[in-house]
Amino acid sequence: MAKHNHRHQSKAEGQIPSADVLAEVQQLLNEGARRAEKAQRFCSGLADCCRFRQTGETPHVTLGEAWLVCKAWKATGRTKISLPDDGSCPFLNQHGLCLIYEARPLACRTHFCVQAGGALPRKEVIDLIHQLEDIDVKLGGDGAARLPDVVNRLMKYHTGKAKPQR
């Protein structure tokens, strides 16, 4: 089992993950959603948890999660990400619906909003977190970063405008 202390040296840029790695990340995220559902944590659809300035919380994602989000965002036809002036998640549409719902990160799946029943206790998903961290290391990441920031860097990298940095 890999160490989970990510304060070690890392590569300056991450690797583009294979389809198998992305499938593994998706499987871990789906398991997180299953556990949230089992614990009676259901998305209210109000997107209150997606209002980062209001909640004071911004999901942090590993490199594998960020690549899934990036791929889902590009599938919507978009190439840029910017945080709205109201501090909401950049992946919401004008009606407050998540445009990357199937690729949303573990933090979003474990519902830290009150309407969904509050955060799923970390002990309930720590094994998933560790597995996502292990994938992050394999991809050359150096730990979780703020969702909009890391996906923005990946989008620039993917369009050839910059190299990903964490």
pLDDT in tens, 10-23: 333 467 899 999 99
Cα distances (angstroms) measured from residue 81 to each of 2, 69, 89:
33, 11, 10
pLDDT in tens, 50-105: 888 888 888 899 999 999 999 999 999 988 887 788 888 999 988 888 999 899 99
What's the pTM value of the predicted model, to 2 decimals?
0.80
Would you say how long the chain is, in residues? 166
Tell which residue, 124, 114, 128, has the closest CA to residue 39. 124
